[in-house]
Amino acid sequence: MFDRMRVVDERPRISSAVEAESLIETVMETLSALSHVVGEETGLVKAGRLKDAMEREARKTELAGTYMKGVEQIKLNAVALARFAPEKVKRLKSAHLAFQDLIDLNQTVLATARAISESIMRDLATDANRQSRAPGYGPTATVGAGVFARPNAGPLVISKSL
């Protein structure tokens, strides 16, 4: 979808309704594509498919950069856009607000996934530490087994003088 989209000029000067509508539509197309990728990523993370979600990172970064350039162009031409295409400007603002809600949800899902993975790693490390301590070694070790177990009193000494 994005591959066929128009590339926005670095510093367009809007001087007609056609140019205003074209700029807004280009930014809206980019926002739509970005929203789609972020939505996919959110769904994949929710489903625990982190590897698949991470595969969207490059595309998301590319679209976000293009969108930010478009937003800058919108800001540079705000007066002309408000004059030539006020309804499309309102539509763009609404789409941007909806996108912000999507980003908030995405960030919540990512933070939850991060907290869960950190908790799992912490639990694994704790379990590994417990299992790595052999019961027969160290200051609290016992010698023998069962009812004859006693605290380790030190090394065994054998006298050869007998």
- pLDDT tens-digit map of 90-109: 999 999 999 999 999 999 99
Residues 40 and 47: their CA atoms lie apart, in Å, by 11
Tell whether 17 is covered by a domain: yes
Confidence of residue 29 (pLDDT cuts 50, 70, 90): very high
- Within a domain: residue 154? no
Do the Cβ atoms of 14 and 78 come closer than 8 Å? no
Whether residue 141 is contained in a domain is answered as no
pLDDT at 117: 85
Nearest to 21 by CA among 96, 84, 68: 84
Question: What are 91's two structure tokens?
Answer: 């539509």
Residue 142 lies in a domain: no
Would you say the pTM of this structure is higher than 0.75? no
Please give the Cα distance from 42 to 76 (Å, whole number): 32
Domain assignment present for 158: no
65 found inside a domain: yes
Contact residues for 15 (Cβ-Cβ < 8 A; gap 6+): 80
Q: Which domain holds residue 124?
A: 2-132
- Indicate if the pLDDT at residue 147 is higher than 70: no
150 inside domain = no
What total of structural domains would you count in the chain?
1
